[in-house]
Amino acid sequence: MWLPALAIGAFQVIGSFGAAHGQPDRKPIDAVAVLLVLVGPAGLTLRDRWPLVSIVLAVAAADVYIGLGYPFGPVFVSIAFALFTAIRQGRRRGAVVIAAVGFASYVLAVRLDTQRVKTPGLVHLSLVAGWLVVVLAVSEVVHVRWEQRIERRRAHAEEQRRRVGEQRMLLAQELHDVLAHHISLINVQASVALHLLDEQPDRARPALTHIKEASRDALHELRTALDLLRGEDADAPRAPAPRLADLPALVAGVRAGGLDVRLDEGERPTSMLPAVELATYRIVQEALTNVTRHARARRVDVRIRYDDGVEIDVVDDGVGTQAAGSFVGSGNGIRGMCERAVSLGGTLVAGPRSGGGFHVTAHLPGRSE
């Protein structure tokens, strides 16, 4: 705050003495002149808090200085600096009004100048007015550029926050879908293994094998997610995202837990958007997970058709209404499926069926790349 004011004050005082040597017809620089020359720089110390006050002080001091007949010189530098600061702070209207009033008072000051040889002509006044216009215009351009730069930074920061939020949401969805599915399978297979371990130990082996595979996949997904959170995704082991071709394996894994799952899939298209394939897989996965955890169903029918997008239907013969209450109260399953569908411009409806059981139906647009 003080350093620019001191520098401008020193420049104006030294420059005024220098200008006096080339203007012998003007009044010599004395203590009053030095005081007036320093009023403008002193007012600049107030520019951050009261920018318009600093302009008034600089203009008033310069007009009085000229009116008393002192040499023309750098006394106007503080006016330019004060105007620039005020406009950069967004005080355009006040700065322009004070500049206009200051120019009018300058015209009056040169007419009252006790040392004038002749009245300043139109050319002189036009030069002064032009100088004021240039100062105001340059200040406005700098202000606009400054505002644009701040806006770009703000927009960039907002975009970064939005992307981080989307990444966190996606990661939360992936963790919920994958871990809930595998842990549900582990729970079912563990129950089967405990039931068979004493009576039919040979039949318990497949259940224990499925527990091992599901726990391994769950640990892999959890490790990948933690690496992403730590910012180590460049070196993190990343498995390919699930595709439509992985649906039979998904159904087989759930079927191994004792649930009768029937997959009725139409003719699979040769090309489809990866995001649609992933969403299709995750919606089916989450629907089967919810059936496994809540529905107490014996059979689930999964029907997938490919036309103008993807049509998904998952129907079970479980407890229906009770399952729906469990979904809403205990987790993010249905909400996560809806968010996936909506994010792609699709729809998803889930609820109990009138004849018993639960029904999940979804439509995802955009089948081809």
> Six-digit token pair at 63?
């007009």
- The last residue of one of the domains, among 120, 154, 171, is 120
Higher local confidence (pLDDT), 38 or 355? 38
Q: Domain total for the chain? A: 2
- Region 195-216 average pLDDT: 72
CATH of the domain at 279: 3.30.565.10
- The last residue of one of the domains, among 95, 120, 145, is 120
249 inside domain: yes
CB of 81 closer than 8 Å to CB of 4? yes
Question: What does the mean pLDDT of the chain come to?
Answer: 79
Q: How far apart are CA 168 and CA 98, in angstroms?
A: 53
Residue 98 pLDDT > 50, yes or no?
yes
Query: What local confidence, expressed as pLDDT, does residue 64 receive?
Result: 87
Give the least confident one: 116-125, 150-159, 307-316: 116-125
Please list, in sequence order, all residues whose beta carbon lies within 8 angstroms of the beta carbon of residue 256, skipping any fewer than 6 positions away. Answer: 189, 206, 207, 210
DSSP letter at 28 equals P
Q: How far apart are CA 118 and CA 74, in angstroms?
A: 22
Please list, in sequence order, all residues whose beta carbon lies within 8 angstroms of the beta carbon of residue 129, skipping any fewer than 6 positions away. Answer: 103
- The last residue of one of the domains, among 70, 85, 120, is 120
Q: Domain span at residue 356?
A: 241-369
Query: What local confidence, expressed as pLDDT, does residue 239 receive?
Result: 55
Query: What local confidence, expressed as pLDDT, does residue 304 receive?
Result: 93
Query: What local confidence, expressed as pLDDT, does residue 324 receive?
Result: 42
154 inside domain: no
133 inside domain: no
- Region 338-362 average pLDDT: 88
199 inside domain: no
Query: What local confidence, expressed as pLDDT, does residue 115 receive?
Result: 60
Label residue 57 left, alpha or beta by phi (over 0 means left) and psi (-120 to 50 means alpha). Answer: alpha
Give pLDDT tens digits for 55-86.
888 888 888 888 888 888 888 888 888 888 88
Where are the alpha helices (H) located in 200-320, listed in sequence order?
201-229, 247-255, 274-290
- Region 84-113 average pLDDT: 82
DSSP letter at 75 equals G
CB of 182 closer than 8 Å to CB of 214? yes
Residue with tokens 């302009």: 55
43 inside domain: yes
Q: How far apart are CA 204 and CA 190, in angstroms?
A: 9
| pTM for this model (two decimals) | 0.47
359 inside domain: yes
86 inside domain: yes
Where are the alpha helices (H) located in the chain, listed in sequence order?
2-21, 31-44, 51-67, 77-88, 92-112, 122-199, 201-229, 247-255, 274-290, 321-330, 333-343
Residue 291 pLDDT > 80, yes or no?
yes
Please list, in sequence order, all residues whose beta carbon lies within 8 angstroms of the beta carbon of residue 3, skipping any fewer than 6 positions away. Answer: none
99 inside domain: yes
Query: What local confidence, expressed as pLDDT, does residue 14 receive?
Result: 85
- Is the Cα dihedral 203, 206, 209, 210 positive or negative? negative
Strand order in the sheet with 299-307: 260-265, 299-307, 309-316, 358-364, 347-352
- Measure the N-to-C terminal CA separation of the chain; round to a whole number of Å: 60
